[in-house]
């Protein structure tokens, strides 16, 4: 989960006529980060420029996440702080978007008289009209319509700019899977895939602006295009792989039940497809998987991983785990620990189950006490920490290809510039140039560079750039 404001893309100047300042706070997954980018893009023609300080803003937007209770609490605590901002500066316009907004709509305006508007997950395209209505009439607006046009997946032009090397691209919205613990199908709606031509246009636009890596986003990318009769996800990947100037393709999230042999074969043929898959297992117990409505068994899951590893033996695998799902016994939980041990994940995200509105599991019997959930979470994290460290240590002494993304913060160990990037297996590498005392950054952003890994930490690797005989970075 993230809680971040968008980086300002230019130095907004209040003195410039017509420039208004927009502050966006984003909570939640990459999908929300992408949506926040769409919000920025859609409001640019109305004269809004991003600011990193809510106190300066003319418009403050909170993009919320409802997937777990904690994320929702975070949203309400930020909204509480906005009350004070409105008291000090009554002219500021305050809006709430995202999954909590979709779910609670009018209730948010009822509970918080200082909020000016609420917009749902499929109302981003209509933001200019919403703001126009507010400025003309002073009305408070709720737009949580899910079927009207104006979805964030269809920006009017590519989301270029920003200078980032790596960007998210939403290829589909919504979810039809109805896992029993999950709120997403209720707040993001039914699955809708974007047309491949639009996705390709957007990626070409991003590449032209300097982007070298895209992460394709969807709740279940494996079912891309199926409903609409577009191409398959593997075919979409093949077309994206052909885009000149693009170096790497990532995607998330895959549902194990739809992880097709077609897609596995793509890992054998597409050179830009990164050596990493995020395959959420959620649980290692068949009884729990059944109640979660995941529609695969532990055995199916392990078979798919074995198949994939035959195609790419060194692929990095990560997962999501929920502990303390209603009715999860100690034996069920041990099966999850056992699954984690047998897969040897590179890393994982683990969550304590929380009841979500609409999701059927909130009515399931056998709720696990909070203290027990905390204990199970700690066991999962401890088990994984040791595996992650083992994976990272195994890379010390090897040479890894890293996509350089930018300067990292000075690490306090070395006085020279530290660069940061990721391996194809999605591991963060901070690296320096070979010459001691060098203090000017070299132009390597956006390049694939060879790094000798010198040290493994628990969440990252450290290394040194290798130079060719001619002194060029390789």
Which of ligand SF4, ligand 5AD, none is residue 219 near (CB under 5 to 8 Å by kind)? Answer: ligand SF4
Q: How far is the CB of 434 from ligand SF4 (least distance, A)?
A: 45
Q: Is 68 in the site for ligand 5AD (CB under 6 A)?
A: yes
CB 298 within 8 A of CB 286: yes
Select 153 or 280, whichever has its Cβ closest to ligand 5AD.
280
Of these partners, ligand 5AD, ligand SF4, none, which one is at the site of residue 177 (CB under 5 to 8 Å by kind)?
ligand SF4
CB of 196 within 8 A of CB of 226? no
Smallest separation (angstroms) from ligand 5AD to the CB of 187: 11
Q: Which helix (H) or strand (E) holds 208?
A: helix 196-208
Choose among ligand 5AD, ligand SF4, none what residue 185 binds, the Cβ cut-off being 5 to 8 Å by kind. Answer: ligand SF4
108: enclosing H helix or E strand: helix 98-111
> CA-CA distances (angstroms) from residue 125 to 154, 229, 285, 325?
8, 25, 42, 37
List the one residue from 104, 166, 282, 347 that touches ligand 5AD (CB under 6 A).
Answer: 282
- Cα(449)–Cα(466) distance, rounded to whole angstroms? 8
Interacting residues toward ligand SF4 by CB under 6 A: 175, 177-179, 182, 184-185, 219-220, 255
Cβ contacts of residue 53 below 8 Å, gap of 6+? 23
Q: Which of 353, 419, 431, 433 binds ligand 5AD (CB under 6 A)?
A: 353
Which stretch in 222-230, 353-361, 366-374, 398-406 sits in contact with ligand 5AD by CB under 6 A? Answer: 353-361
Helices (H), 253-353: 261-269, 286-291, 298-311, 330-343
Which parts of 292-351 interact with ligand 5AD (CB under 6 A)? 320, 322, 351
Restricting to residues 161-220, name those near ligand 5AD by CB under 6 A: 181-182
Using CB under 6 A as the binding rule, whether residue 356 contacts ligand 5AD is answered as yes
CB-nearer residue toward ligand SF4: 9 or 178: 178
Q: What is d(CA 198, CA 3) in angstroms, rounded to the nearest whole number?
A: 29
Query: Among 321, 7, 41, 346, which Cα is nearest to 169's?
Result: 41
Run of H or E including 81: helix 69-88
Q: Give the separation between CA 143 and CA 140, rounded to whole angstroms.
A: 10
For residue 91, the SS3 value is coil
Q: How far is the CB of 440 from ligand 5AD (least distance, A)?
A: 42
List the single partner that 353 binds among ligand SF4, ligand 5AD, none, CB under 5 to 8 Å by kind: ligand 5AD
Q: What angle do CA 149, 1, 281 make, to 5 degrees?
A: 90
| CA neighbor of 42 nearest in space, from 121, 156, 143 | 156
Rounded to whole angstroms, the Cα distance separating 110 from 277 reads: 43
| Candidate residues 28, 120, 218, 280; the one interacting with ligand 5AD per rule CB under 6 A | 280
Q: From the centroid of its chain, how far is CA 283?
A: 21
By beta carbon distance, the residue nearest ligand 5AD is: 320
Compute the distance between CA of residue 263 and CA of residue 417 in angstroms, rounded to an integer: 40
Q: Which among 447, 451, 449 is positioned nearest to 462, based on CA atoms?
A: 451
- Nearest residue (CB) to ligand 5AD, 176 versus 320: 320
What distance in Å separates the CA atoms of residue 139 and residue 134, rounded to the nearest whole number? 5
Binding partner selected for residue 351 from ligand SF4, ligand 5AD, none, CB under the kind-specific 5 to 8 Å limit: ligand 5AD
If the CB atoms of residues 20 and 188 are measured against ligand SF4, the closer one turns out to be 188
Q: Is the dihedral of CA 123, 198, 249, 205 positive or negative?
A: negative
**Shortest Cβ distance from residue 356 to ligand 5AD (Å)?**
5
Q: How far is the CB of 144 from ligand SF4 (least distance, A)?
A: 19
- The partner in contact with residue 68, picked from ligand 5AD, ligand SF4, none with C-beta cut-offs of 5 to 8 angstroms by kind, is ligand 5AD
Q: Identify what 57 binds: ligand SF4, ligand 5AD, none; CB under 5 to 8 Å per kind.
A: none
Nearer CB in complex with ligand 5AD: 40/255: 255
Residues in contact with 263: Cβ distance below 8 Å, sequence separation at least 6, in sequence order: 222, 233, 234, 237, 254
Whichever of 41 and 294 has its CB closer to ligand SF4, that residue is: 294
Residues 93 and 58: their CA atoms lie apart, in Å, by: 6
The verdict on 122 binding ligand 5AD (CB under 6 A) reads no
Q: Is 419 one of the binding residues for ligand 5AD (CB under 6 A)?
A: no
**Binding partner at 400 among ligand 5AD, ligand SF4, none, C-beta below 5 to 8 Å by kind:** none
Residue 322 interacts with, from ligand SF4, ligand 5AD, none (CB under 5-8 Å by kind): ligand 5AD
Residues that bind ligand 5AD (CB under 6 A): 67-68, 181-182, 280, 282, 320, 322, 351, 353-354, 356
């Amino acid at each position: 989960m993230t809680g971040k404001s968008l980086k300002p893309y230019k130095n907004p100047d209040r003195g410039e006529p017509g420039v208004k300042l927009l502050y966006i706070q984003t909570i939640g997954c990459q999908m929300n980060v992408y949506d926040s980018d769409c919000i920025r893009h859609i409001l640019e023609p109305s004269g809004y420029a991003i600011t990193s300080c809510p106190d300066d803003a003319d418009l403050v937007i909170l993009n919320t996440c409802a997937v777990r209770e904690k994320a929702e609490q975070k949203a309400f605590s930020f909204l509480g702080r906005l009350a004070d901002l409105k008291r000090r500066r009554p002219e500021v316009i305050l809006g709430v978007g995202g999954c909590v907004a979709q779910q609670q709509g009018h209730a948010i305006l009822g509970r918080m008289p200082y909020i000016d508007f609420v917009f749902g997950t499929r109302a981003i395209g209509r933001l200019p009209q919403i703001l126009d209505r507010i400025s003309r009439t002073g009305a408070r607006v709720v737009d949580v319509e899910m079927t009207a046009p104006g979805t964030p997946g269809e920006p009017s032009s590519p989301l270029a700019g920003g200078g980032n090397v790596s960007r998210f691209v939403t290829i589909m919205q919504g979810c039809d899977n109805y896992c029993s613990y999950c709120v997403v199908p209720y707040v993001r709606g039914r699955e809708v895939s974007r047309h491949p031509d639009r996705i390709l246009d957007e990626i070409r636009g991003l590449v032209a602006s300097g982007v070298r890596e895209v992460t394709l986003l969807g709740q279940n990318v494996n079912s891309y295009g199926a409903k609409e009769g577009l191409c398959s996800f593997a075919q979409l990947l093949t077309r994206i792989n052909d885009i000149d100037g693009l170096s790497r393709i990532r995607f998330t999230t895959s549902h194990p039940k739809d992880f097709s042999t077609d897609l596995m074969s793509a890992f054998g043929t597409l050179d830009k497809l990164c050596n990493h898959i995020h395959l959420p297992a959620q649980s290692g117990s068949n009884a729990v998987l059944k109640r979660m409505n995941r529609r695969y068994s532990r055995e199916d899951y392990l078979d798919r991983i074995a198949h994939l590893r035959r195609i790419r033996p060194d692929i990095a695998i990560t997962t999501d785990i929920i502990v303390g799902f209603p009715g999860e016994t100690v034996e069920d939980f041990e099966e999850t620990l056992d699954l984690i041990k047998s897969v040897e994940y590179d890393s994982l995200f683990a969550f304590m189950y929380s009841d979500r509105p609409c999701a059927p599991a909130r009515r399931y019997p056998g709720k696990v006490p909070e203290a027990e959930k905390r204990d199970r979470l700690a066991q999962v994290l401890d088990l994984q920490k040791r595996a992650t460290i083992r994976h990272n240590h195994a890379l010390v002494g090897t040479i890894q290809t890293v996509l350089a993304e930018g300067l990292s913060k000075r690490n306090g160990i070395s006085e020279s510039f530290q660069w940061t990037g990721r391996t194809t297996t999605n591991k963060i590498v901070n690296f320096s140039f070979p010459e001691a005392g060098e203090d000017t950054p070299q132009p390597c952003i956006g390049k694939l560079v060879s790094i000798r890994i010198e040290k493994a930490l628990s969440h990252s690797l450290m290394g040194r750039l290798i130079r060719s005989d001619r002194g060029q970075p390789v």
